[in-house]
Amino acid sequence: EVVLTQSPGTLSLSPGERATLSCRASQTVSSSYLAWYQQKPGQAPRLVIYGASSRATGIPDRFSGSGSGTDFTLSISRLEPEDVAVYFCQQHATSPLTFGGGTKVEI
């Protein structure tokens, strides 16, 4: 099983600051099979990034993804109040599909 470790657990920033979220895999994951999801309180997760670096439909361009191998990053260039959420990474390359533990972004 591929274990995804996200850090930090909580990120507290001010509006307009840059947020950098990390996702580290226990074994190599093809970039095509790494996704990021945003989950706001009381809501279902929403796809933000797929294929490690492609923005999903309707996602603002302040969100970007990068990385390869075992280290992946989600960046939010200018934090907005509506970006407050928990962000999960997911690998869907090998079974079982797994998620990271999440990073909570606070303002």
Partner 1 sequence: QVQLVQSGAEVKKPGASVKVACETSGYAFTTYYIHWVRQAPGQGLEWMGVINPSRGTTFYVQKFQGRVSMTRDTSTSTVYMELSSLRSEDTAVYYCARGGSSSWYRDFDYWGQGTLVTVSS
Residues facing 46 on adjacent strands: 38
Out of 13, 31, 33, 62, point to the residue binding partner 1 (CB under 8 A): 33
52-91 positions binding partner 1, by CB under 8 A: 56-57, 88, 90
Q: CB of 17: closest distance to partner 1 in angstroms?
A: 25
Kindly state the smallest distance separating residue 97's Cβ from partner 1, in Å: 4
Q: Which two tokens stand for residue 1?
A: 């099983």
By CB under 8 A, residue 38 contacts partner 1: no
Query: CB of residue 41 vs partner 1: minimum separation in angstroms?
Result: 11
Instruction: Give the other-Cβ count within 10 Å of 15's Cβ.
Output: 10
Rounded Cα gap, residues 35 and 94, in angstroms = 13
CA distance 3 to 6: 10
